[in-house]
Amino acid sequence: MKRIFAVPGIRIGAWVPFLLVGLIACSSPGEVEQSTQTNVRVSGNTITWNTEEPALTAVGYRYPDSDIWNVAYPSPNLRRDKAFVTNHSVTLMRPQEGDKILVVLVNRLASQRDFLTGEEFEVELTSGPPTGPLLRWTMVDVGFGDSHFLRMPNSGKTILVDGGERQDFSNVDEFLKSESVTSLDYVMATHIHADHIGGLVGNSDSVSDGILGVYDVGMYIDTVIKSHTRFAYDEALATLANRGIPKANIQVGDNSDTTELLDWDEEVYVEILNAGGGAAIGGTSEGDQLNNDSIMFRVTMGEVNFIMGGDSEAPVETKVTAEFGEALESEVLKVHHHGVNDASNTGFLQAVNPRVGMIPIASFETSDGGLPTFAVVNRLRASGIDVYSNDRAEPIGIDFVTTTSPTDGLNITLVTNGDLYEIEVAPSRSFHSLKGGTMPVLKGQNPEDFREGDQ
């Protein structure tokens, strides 16, 4: 019986097999429990099975000799992907008829903390995937910072949200080249902290550097009310003016139906939940207020929704929850502020009720590994949310948290056709600063007390 793990410090391509009996559940290091799953069946491109206890489920799969994993989730229709049941069904969205793939069944017990993962087995699919174009959102590996790339399903429009730190221009540029991107329809900076806007302007203090200085950009999406200013933002404005890139502002309530700026695709609906005004919303420091300037938006394609909101802290999350309530419900959440404990409050998580949480951080780029904080990760796990970040994919056991290689890291991609969704976990081509470098230092002994300094 074989379970494939990724060992810290081992590249993704170097999978290490362990011999186990039955299924295993690992809720904390050193704990191993046994359980069983029965009646595993493959019909076409759908896999069904039973578990003894109610569980949340998913299917991990990869092609032989590939280092890219995919995690397919149950249909979000009627929130089946969030239902603790004993009868499970997952349809694979992308493999083609006749493809041979390696599969593991991932079960999460009603305790909401334990993953039980079965043996890896080979499947040959007897029918193709559901038809329809795919929306892709990649959380690009920039280590400490945010950068997200969206490609629309029908229009093919491309949107870059944030660009990481200044030195991350090269990492974002490398990713865009790997996607054959030579121009961008839209660039959005959620707010003006350097770990979000830095890669858009680059390192050279020149208007010909960074994403905005190198790529053809159709429109720069901005907000009207900035709580404070930063040099990197002034540099971005100078670059826009030098290159003739138009800039347009958005505000809360703008959406694809009312605002041409957000009309990205005929099947995709975008709504702005927060945009600027952080000083009025809350925050005790300039850094907090700039975080609360963050653009937060919700994207919908069919049955699948996701939310991202830069470094929005608890005051923004509380405000948005009060304004939108259950309408926030989404399958996937971009966890705000890199997993710092001043965001991801319980009320907001309950309203969004995501199955997947994507945290833009590689903990080895924070001194002492202080991000994401234990408090936030445990809050996500306790809420039944599968945790992915640029150094981990918990449902399938990938973990680079303690790596010593500057080239370890993951690009995490949500892929959906509007009816189903999968998370793609792929090695990135990014280069990182390791612990002890220029990244933020953990203040004090309690990871929950970590707060990012003003940037």
Q: What percent of the chain has pLDDT over 70?
A: 85
Domain count, the chain: 2
Residue 292 lies in a domain: yes
Q: Show which of 70, 95, 124 is a domain's final residue.
A: 124
Residue 145 lies in a domain: yes
309 is in which domain, residue-wise? 135-449
The pTM score is 0.88
**Average pLDDT of the residues in 368-372:** 73
- The CATH number of whichever domain residue 206 belongs to comes to 3.60.15.10
Residues 109 and 144 in one domain: no
Residues 76 and 149 in one domain: no
Mean pLDDT of the chain: 85
User: What DSSP assignment string belongs to 193-237?
Assistant: -HHHHHHHH-SSSSTTSHHHHHSEEEEEEEES--SS--HHHHHHH
Q: Contact 41/47 with Cβ under 8 angstroms?
A: yes
Residues 141 and 96 in one domain: no
Residues 118 and 145 in one domain: no
Residues 79 and 168 in one domain: no
pLDDT of 112:
60
Q: Show which of 124, 159, 182 is a domain's final residue.
A: 124
Q: Show which of 68, 98, 124 is a domain's final residue.
A: 124
Residue 182 lies in a domain: yes
Residues 74 and 190 in one domain: no
Residue 129 lies in a domain: no
Q: For residue range 228-250, list pLDDT tens digits in order.
A: 989 999 999 999 999 999 999 99
Residue 258 lies in a domain: yes
Radius of gyration of the chain (CA): 21
Residues 351 and 438 in one domain: yes
- The CATH number of whichever domain residue 60 belongs to comes to 2.60.40
Residue 455 lies in a domain: no
Residues 158 and 28 in one domain: no
By CB atoms closer than 10 A (0-12, 13-18, 19+), residue 14 is exposed
Q: CA 320: distance to chain centroid?
A: 20
Q: For residue range 185-243, list pLDDT tens digits in order.
A: 999 999 999 999 999 999 877 788 899 999 999 999 999 888 898 999 999 999 999 99
Residues 267 and 411 in one domain: yes
Residues 169 and 305 in one domain: yes
For 224, left (φ over 0), alpha (ψ -120 to 50), or beta?
alpha
Is it the case that residue 28 has pLDDT exceeding 50? no
Residues 149 and 253 in one domain: yes
Residues 416 and 323 in one domain: yes
The larger pLDDT score, comparing residue 367 to residue 182, is at 182
Residue 212 lies in a domain: yes
Residue 130 lies in a domain: no
